[in-house]
Chain A
């Protein structure tokens, strides 16, 4: 199993509060991703990173920010949590950026269940 740890595993918070989710990897992979999973929508990309301090937006990035100061850590911050951000959040990693012309499958963490009340 790929070495990916997400913390916390569960969190309950109130509307309007900031929340930070952490993803830590031990694989030294270049690419890291944050997805959210919601019924009827599958997995949707929030933000991704292709190196230290290099990040870009996904399809549902509004209300979220990310930071990557080290290869192994990718943080997702909800600046002011809303009830619509209640979801399961998954971090994923891959080394596909190091294989020009090829692709690599993603390895996912176990997820963080976030409830915004």
Chain B
């Protein structure tokens, strides 16, 4: 049972345009949502997060939007740069009890010059 889903395995965007990565979840009890970025042969690195009590969080070129009624979050990157080419994982966490992150399948983003 996949609690966090990223339905797009890959996305290709032109440099300078907006990249939008999507994520859906099934458990309405999740408290925080996070995005991780992964380059080949490296471990994932934390990118940005959002609390379930908010609907938007912005950090430079990266903005995460949360729609709780739709159980949907998205990551916007604007403008997209070649260095943004990576695999992006969304993840969710329950604060109560053992705080284990649940990850989506990942989306491979390619930024074309």
Contact = CB atoms under 8 A, between A and B. Distances in A.
Contacts, number: 55
A96 B49 CA distance: 15
B105 A40 contact: yes
Interface in B59-113: 89, 91, 93, 95, 98-101, 103-106
Interface in B34-50: 34, 41-46, 49
A110 B43 contact: yes
Interface string A98-117: 00011101111111000000
Contacts of B22: none
B105 A105 contact: no
B58 interface: no
A110 B95 CA distance: 26
A97 B98 CA distance: 9
A50 B98 contact: yes
**Chain B contact residues: over half helix, strand or loop, or mixed?**
loop
A44 interface: yes
22 contacts: A41-B105, A42-B89, A42-B104, A42-B106, A43-B44, A43-B89, A43-B91, A43-B103, A45-B101, A48-B98, A50-B98, A58-B100, A97-B99, A102-B95, A103-B99, A105-B46, A105-B49, A107-B46, A108-B43, A108-B45, A110-B41, A111-B42
Interface of B: 4, 6, 9, 31-32, 34, 41-46, 49, 89, 91, 93, 95, 98-101, 103-106
Given A4-B43, A43-B89, 19 more contacts: A35-B103, A42-B4, A42-B89, A42-B104, A42-B106, A43-B44, A43-B91, A43-B103, A43-B106, A45-B101, A50-B98, A90-B43, A90-B44, A103-B31, A103-B32, A103-B95, A105-B49, A106-B44, A111-B41
